[in-house]
Amino acid sequence: MRAWLMNSYEGEDKLQMGEVPDPEPAPGEALLRIRFAGLNPADAFLSRGMYPANPPLPHVLGRDGVGEVLAVGSNVKNVRAGDIVGVLRCDVGVSTWGTLAEKTVAPAASLAPVPDGWSIEEMAGAPLAFLTAWQALTQWNDPPAPERAGSVLLVTGASGGVGIAAILLGKSMGLTVVGLSRSTEKGARLKELGADFVFDPADPNLRKSVLAAISPRKVDLAVDNIGGTLFPEVIAMLGYGGRISVVGRSAGAVPEFNTGTLFFRRNRIGGVAVSDYSPEAAQTAWREILRRLDEASKRPVVDQVFPFEQAKEAFRRLAHGPLGKVLVRVAG
Ligand SMILES: NC(=O)c1ccc[n+]([C@@H]2O[C@H](COP(=O)([O-])OP(=O)(O)OC[C@H]3O[C@@H](n4cnc5c(N)ncnc54)[C@H](OP(=O)(O)O)[C@@H]3O)[C@@H](O)[C@H]2O)c1
């Protein structure tokens, strides 16, 4: 089969298309013929040695994807040959070969059908981003719960995969959602998707503008995908008891900030790790995500689909800042 091979830790630009033997499903696994792979920044980070996992080389990237089940190993009851399934967060693309290949094997416990009414493209890019956003929104299980109508949710990097998922799920919880995007065009689309307000993170009056929009409230929960110089600003917009779920740091290192701003208002900062989901927990969270999207008649957003041969262009699009998910059409 053909696969995009990672032969070094020098970055996604050094991936090479190669021929490798077809994988075979072990007990508990399914062999998939991949139709679409969904890209995530974590794939690029892994290829640059900037990720906790360091799989042996060659490696195949790709944590999200949809494919047809070709065969199953022993002890697999939940899927069978011919099913079209998506991969929920697991070791695929991390410690085992991923979806940027014509075929891959995945644990059957981490497979889920394409939801009714969704295209297979929508399913291909959704799981990792939605499971991450779900954890970011629900990890604070002591009062004040984020799921309280009228509470304010701030989402940075709002046009990305996790950002859009946080907006859709936040609205399903009755939250007032403020998104930050550097692009006016993407900002308009985020409002169509449900964001109540969208601001440019580079606006020198950002804090004033956000607080005026949500007055008399302040931010109850922030989902931060960005880090960088914006992070102290996000802290400054929190109300008493406000929290930040730290998802990513697309904008790099966070400068020094005064920790006093945390203790005066009992603010909390907590990391999100999508890798923490067990297969069972991911399936449970995924069902709840689907129920909420279905109730709101919302579906994942696909930014652009690239041919298999153009996977490197797809990574460039991801780095540039997409609106939703960037996909690679592997077959079909
Ligand atoms: N902790 C976890 O378990 C976990 C799981 C998934 C993802 N992540 C991390 O979370 C982050 C977001 O993931 P994603 O899938 O949503 O990424 P994404 O689809 O690439 O979107 C990120 C968005 O952030 C904005 N952005 C990018 N670079 C920026 C910069 N330098 N300054 C300001 N804004 C910038 C862009 O929006 P605009 O162009 O609209 O501003 C972009 O659309 C990534 O760092 C990823 O690695 C972590």
* Domain edges within the chain: 2-125+301-329, 140-271
What HEC string does 183-210 produce?
Answer: CHHHHHHHHHHCCCEEECCCCCCHHHHH
Spell out a b/e string for 246-284, using b for 16 or more CB atoms within 10 Å of the CB, else e: bbbbbbeebeeeeeeebeebebeeeebebeebeeeebbe
pLDDT score, position 146: 60
- Is 3.40.50.1980 the CATH number for 140-271? no
Under a CB-based contact definition with an 8 Å cutoff, are residues 123 and 86 in contact? yes
Six-digit token string for 248: 């990513």
What residues contact 274, with CB distance under 8 A and at least 6 apart? 89, 128, 131, 132, 135
pLDDT score, position 143: 52
| Cα of 137 vs its chain's centroid, Å | 13
Mean pLDDT by 10 residues, the chain (332 residues): 98 98 98 98 97 96 98 97 98 98 98 98 98 96 64 97 98 96 97 98 97 96 97 96 95 92 94 98 98 97 98 97 97 82
How many angstroms separate the CA atoms of 304 and 322, rounded?
A: 8
Nearest CA to ligand 1 atom 9: 248
Ligand 1 test: best mutation among 131, 245, 247, 315, most atoms within 8 Å of CB? 247
Record: fold of 2-125+301-329: Quinone Oxidoreductase; Chain A, domain 1 (3.90.180)
Eight-class DSSP state of 21: P
State the distance from the centre of ligand 1 to the C-alpha of 307, rounded, in angstroms.
Answer: 23
For 7, other C-beta atoms within 10 Å of its C-beta total: 12
- C-beta 195 within 6 A of ligand 1: no
Closest CA to 30 of 75, 94, 91: 75
Nearest CA to ligand 1 atom 21: 160
Provide the residue type at 81 as one letter. Answer: A
**Is 0.75 surpassed by the pTM of this model?**
yes
Nearest CA to ligand 1 atom 33: 251
Strand 29-38 to strand 325-329: parallel, antiparallel, or no bridges (unpaired)?
A: antiparallel
Ligand 1 atom having least distance to the Cα of 250: 45
Nearest CA to ligand 1 atom 24: 157
Under a CB-based contact definition with an 8 Å cutoff, are residues 12 and 59 in contact? no
pLDDT score, position 142: 63
